[in-house]
Structure 1
Amino acid sequence: MPDFEALIRHQQLKQPTTNKRLKVVDSPNLEEEEKKEEAIIRQSGLLVNFFGGFIGSVIGTLTILFLYINEYLPLDLLKLK
């Protein structure tokens, strides 16, 4: 029966070096992927801006209504004629 340690040592010496086993390959469509990511980021930014503006307008409207109801902000709309 062969020696286990000798068998392991033989396999380690027989292995190719890491340079020969592993290669770093750039994606062939790297520029296209970056453009897609930029488009997605741009679209998500527009969506966030839309909902941010909508929520801001709702908060502003509710604030004005609250101030008007509690008579901190008198609005005489009939006098504007």
Structure 2
Amino acid sequence: MKSPLRLAREKRGMTLDALAKIVGSDVGNLSRIERGVQVPGPQLAERICSEFEGEVNELQLIYPSRYVETPVCSETRQ
């Protein structure tokens, strides 16, 4: 399962290290935010959302489990 932040970051081919430098955070914090273990503070959430220009919003960062991409179940064969 991938969070909206991880999906947006991977879509751009961006590493956690590159994003960390852009938003002024560290890789560990961003990794925990992507996994839903940590919630970003208001300033960091704003910087992340600004970088992704609408691809990611603050609610997705605060409540990632509500927006996680779930795998599609394959149909059962008959």
Alignment TM class, shorter chain as reference: under 0.3
Richer in helix (by share)? 1
- Higher relative contact order, chain-length normalized (CA < 8 Å, sep 6+): 2
TM-score (norm 2): 0.18
In terms of Rg, which structure is larger? 1
